[in-house]
């Protein structure tokens, strides 16, 4: 009897163990669903491995996304803002969440990991972790068989006004290049300020504006201007210390600039005239916006400030409790 009891107990424990393994393997990550007509801020910290959801109108926390056995390094919203795509530089899959339910609905293959994703109309451009391959992926996760292989490593991507072109910021040199996506070739390269981080194509003046950190010996205090025709240096627009992030408004008439070395936010028109300025919290890094407001996340202050786009008047300031390296806005009828 005792042997039979032990045998049955062993079978039961093995069964429970196997079911547990299967359950953990099939378990999906999830977050909090937000109705599509409600605006929300997706505020992320790769250090804490969490994406928090906050109301942009009240600053109240709504919920969060957490991940099981997945280390994310970035995320983007789909063009229609319904889906959240989460990726990792050392992960072989992209997680896709329906933001209205919070459920993980799909996984896309990303062999080798993704360093950066950029939405381009009905497709995605993905910079892989080797820093040299760029793939095109459609909204269904199908990756084009041919990749663009660059002759140099890059660390960031920025779409040009012409969607057949893409700007890439070099990784190991102070350069920015423009690619023609269909022709799969580099069409122009600029020698830039040290450690560039952001670019903006100013079609009004036919210029490329570049911001960045500068070097240890010479910190950057201005937005560098270059000719789109011949690449020549045209001077600088005074800014705060280290103008690292750009946010153009929807009509591309003005540019908002975040300088994280001096906790500074600036509004400048396409001719270089400064229209408004404001102070931010300590070490601002991420910025996003809608038609009326700007949202700026500050890393060291662990906070987000909301500003009016027209005057840069601060209208809201709230603490998030994490190091907010990422910030994405999804609009709704309430804003």
Q: What is the tens place of the pLDDT at every residue in 199-250?
A: 999 999 999 999 999 998 889 999 999 999 999 999 999 999 999 999 998 6
Nearest Cα residue to 211 out of 238, 177, 246, 176: 246
Residues present in the chain in total = 335
Burial zone of 257 (CB within 10 Å; 0-12 exposed, 13-18 middle, 19+ buried): buried
How would DSSP label each residue in 157-176? EEE-SSTTEEEEEESSSSEE
Cα separation of 93 and 36, whole Å?
26
Task: Supply the pLDDT for residue 10.
Answer: 47
Tokens read off for 291: 């038609």
Phi, psi angles (nearest 5°) of residue 185: -150, 155
Burial zone of 324 (CB within 10 Å; 0-12 exposed, 13-18 middle, 19+ buried): buried
Q: Are 43 and 296 in contact (CB under 8 A)?
A: no
**What is the CA 297 to chain-centroid distance, rounded?**
12
Tell the residue number behind the tokens 């240096």, with chain if given: 233
Task: Supply the pLDDT for residue 246.
Answer: 97
Task: Supply the pLDDT for residue 169.
Answer: 96
Cα separation of 104 and 294, whole Å?
29
Cα separation of 160 and 199, whole Å?
9
Tokens read off for 196: 């560039």
Task: Supply the pLDDT for residue 146.
Answer: 79
Task: Supply the pLDDT for residue 54.
Answer: 98
Task: Supply the pLDDT for residue 251.
Answer: 76
Phi, psi angles (nearest 5°) of residue 21: -65, -45
Task: Supply the pLDDT for residue 281.
Answer: 97
Task: Supply the pLDDT for residue 164.
Answer: 86
The predicted model scores a pTM of: 0.89
Task: Supply the pLDDT for residue 333.
Answer: 67
Q: How far is CA 278 from each of CA 5, 29, 199, 286, 328, rounded to the nearest angstrom? A: 74, 39, 21, 15, 21
Task: Supply the pLDDT for residue 332.
Answer: 81
**46-51 contacts: CB < 8 A, separation 24 or more?**
46/72, 46/73, 46/74, 46/325, 46/326, 47/322, 47/323, 47/325, 48/322, 48/323, 50/322, 51/75, 51/84, 51/86, 51/326
User: What number of other Cβ atoms are within 10 A of residue 109's Cβ?
Assistant: 11
Low-confidence ranges of the chain (pLDDT < 70): 1-28, 250, 252, 333-335
Task: Supply the pLDDT for residue 250.
Answer: 67
Q: Are 41 and 56 in contact (CB under 8 A)?
A: yes
Task: Supply the pLDDT for residue 139.
Answer: 85
């Amino acid at each position: 009897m005792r042997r039979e009891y032990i045998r049955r107990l062993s079978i039961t424990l093995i069964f429970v163990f196997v079911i547990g393994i299967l359950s953990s393997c099939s378990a999906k990550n999830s977050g909090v669903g937000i109705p599509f007509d409600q605006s929300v801020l997706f505020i992320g910290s790769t250090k804490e491995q969490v994406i928090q959801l906050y109301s942009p109108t009240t600053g109240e926390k709504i919920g969060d996304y957490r991940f099981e056995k997945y280390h994310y390094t970035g995320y983007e919203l789909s063009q229609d803002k319904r889906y959240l795509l989460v990726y990792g530089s050392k992960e072989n899959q992209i997680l896709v969440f329906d933001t209205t339910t919070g459920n993980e609905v799909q996984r896309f293959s990303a062999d080798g990991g993704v360093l950066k994703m950029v939405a381009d109309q009905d497709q995605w451009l993905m910079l892989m972790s080797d820093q040299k391959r760029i793939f095109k992926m459609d909204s269904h996760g199908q990756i084009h068989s041919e990749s663009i292989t660059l002759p140099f490593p890059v660390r960031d991507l920025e779409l040009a006004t012409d969607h057949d072109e893409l700007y890439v910021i070099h990784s190991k040199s102070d350069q920015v290049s423009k690619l023609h996506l269909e022709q799969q070739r580099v069409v122009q390269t600029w020698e830039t300020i040290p450690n560039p981080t952001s670019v903006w194509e100013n079609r009004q003046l036919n210029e490329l504006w570049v911001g960045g950190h500068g070097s240890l010996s010479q910190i950057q205090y201005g937005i560098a201007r270059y000719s789109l025709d011949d690449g020549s240096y045209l001077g600088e627009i005074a800014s705060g210390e280290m103008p690292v992030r750009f946010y153009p408004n929807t009509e591309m008439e003005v540019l908002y600039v975040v300088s994280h070395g001096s906790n500074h936010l600036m509004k400048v028109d396409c001719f270089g005239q400064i229209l408004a300025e404001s102070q931010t919290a300590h070490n601002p890094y991420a910025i996003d916006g809608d038609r009326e407001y700007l949202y700026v996340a500050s890393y060291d202050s662990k906070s987000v400030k909301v500003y009016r786009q027209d005057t840069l008047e601060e209208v809201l300031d709230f603490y998030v409790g994490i190091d907010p390296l990422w910030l994405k806005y999804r609009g709704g009828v309430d804003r």
